[in-house]
A and B are shown apart, each in its own frame.
Chain A
């Protein structure tokens, strides 16, 4: 157990080092860069004309549909991972293979359904 946690300490140290490295880069840049801000330079970019309205504009609802579908299939993949590891060595190979087939059928059936319903169609 201790060796297990030690290995995670290595990666935690690496994470901290990574964040510090980026922070250090920002700090160095802050020391050496010029800082001359004025009016138009600070406006949001909108092809050279004055920005109109707020920057948080509408986006198409379709992106959210894809996000929902991603969640469905990502959960599916998540269930496959542990199964993939034990499949080769398990005593009940045929059983777990069959169970996975049933599970995959019920999750994957959503894909042709969405396809038919036109959710996957763009524009």
Chain B
């Protein structure tokens, strides 16, 4: 590694970092503006043109706020938790290619900080470490609401990490590599000469699985249970203030940007797009960055859109979705993908069309199975709902012994969660 390598690497790292911070700041502002539009409000419009500097002002304000260290906290972990949360969010994007490649002299460089063979496993690893930030914050606060919020979001995140992992596995089987650059390269051609060869077409179900899990991992609506303010005040960040609070929020919003970027890399061809003969030049690489940014912004908009549209899920529904729908269907999809890859490789003549037909058949099968599971759940539900009513209104008598028993067990369950006074 000589001076040229070193200089260009540092430039790419700093540039990528700046791009991510900028995208995060823009996202926070854009979200507030767009949600305001969806709710027929005005939103922030005072600082800078259209209020674009609002994020900077808010960040600066938080730094001038008193940092309260409540009595009950475990000091070391209380301090470590926001660092873990923010640092992990900053590191996740290291493996994502955010632009094309260019040549200087006889050497080729790619706009990507790090391209290891473990590739996108890095994303999974980092989101696993991100759980530590939350659980430590919840525990170290020495207060009841943060503890409950921390435990709850840990359970949510580990549940959806499985679905996310299965979505990734399907893509890995399809592409045959974990490396981000190879996943992007595999999506560079076209299907039938007109549709871009993005993974989203053969791996549509994996995309739905992954994106759903990504929303839950980033703790965004409709899966923002950790911040259910009606139940948990502010969850694990209740006792945090000032700069530490700002770090948690920076981490959370950066997670949204990173998850959108990972989705684009895996399923939408990353920075690939028509280059108009600029291959290999810096301009071509930056054009790739432009394509990448546009695609990523689309997904960041979807995050905002979901927030503006959907109400928060109930906690048991959330866990049911993770364990009873995403996990089994994910496993089925992984095996279906593997079977298609196997058939494609074994039979020399088998073309993409055959694979597509089998995937379609598998999808139909999965939908039928899914509908069946849903119906069997729907049949079981009336009894549960009656039990619930019995709990909500103490005057209403349960209609049968069955519901009475269920109602009683509900009460018992609720009492265990309640904080002893």
Q: Is the CB of B143 within 8 A of A46?
A: yes
Question: Which residues in chain A, 68-121, are within 8 Å of chain B measured between CB atoms?
Answer: 69-70, 73-74, 77, 80-81, 84-85, 87-89, 93-94, 97, 100-101, 104, 108, 111, 115, 120-121
Q: Is the CB of A58 within 8 A of B143?
A: no
B46 cross-chain contacts in A, Cβ below 8 A = none
Q: Is the CB of A93 within 8 A of B161?
A: no
Query: How many residues of chain A get a CB closer than 8 Å to chain B's CBs?
Result: 70
* B244 close to A (CB within 8 Å): yes
Count, A-B residue pairs, CB within 8 A: 210
**Which of the residues A54, A58, A73, A121 comes within 8 Å of B162, measured between beta carbons?**
A73
Given contacts A80-B169, A84-B173, A88-B345, contact A42 B91 (CB under 8 A): no
Q: Whole-angstrom distance between the alpha carbons of A36 and B246 in the complex?
A: 20
Q: Is the CB of B335 within 8 A of A101?
A: yes
**Residue of chain B at shortest CB distance from A11:** B114
**Which of the residues B67, B72, B144, B178 comes within 8 Å of A85, measured between beta carbons?**
B178
Q: Whole-angstrom distance between the alpha carbons of A51 and B420 in the complex?
A: 12
**Which of the residues B94, B155, B324, B416 comes within 8 Å of A66, measured between beta carbons?**
B155
Distance from A5 Cβ to chain B, minimum over Cβ atoms (Å): 11
Main secondary structure of the interface of A (DSSP, over half): helix
* A1 close to B (CB within 8 Å): no
Q: Is the CB of A94 within 8 A of B346?
A: yes
Query: How many residues of chain B get a CB closer than 8 Å to chain A's CBs?
Result: 85
Q: Whole-angstrom distance between the alpha carbons of A93 and B339 in the complex?
A: 10
Q: Whole-angstrom distance between the alpha carbons of A66 and B156 in the complex?
A: 9
> What are some 8 contacts across the A-B interface (CB < 8 A)?
A7-B114, A11-B116, A14-B13, A69-B323, A81-B178, A84-B173, A87-B341, A123-B316
For the complex with contacts A11-B114, A34-B64, A84-B172, 20 further pairs of A-B residues with Cβ separation under 8 Å are A11-B113, A14-B13, A22-B86, A26-B243, A29-B63, A29-B243, A33-B66, A33-B242, A42-B68, A53-B421, A54-B142, A57-B144, A58-B420, A59-B147, A59-B151, A70-B161, A81-B178, A111-B323, A120-B320, A120-B324
Which residues of A are at the interface with B, using a C-beta cutoff of 8 A?
6-8, 10-11, 13-15, 17-19, 21-23, 25-26, 28-30, 32-37, 41-47, 51-60, 63, 66-67, 69-70, 73-74, 77, 80-81, 84-85, 87-89, 93-94, 97, 100-101, 104, 108, 111, 115, 120-123
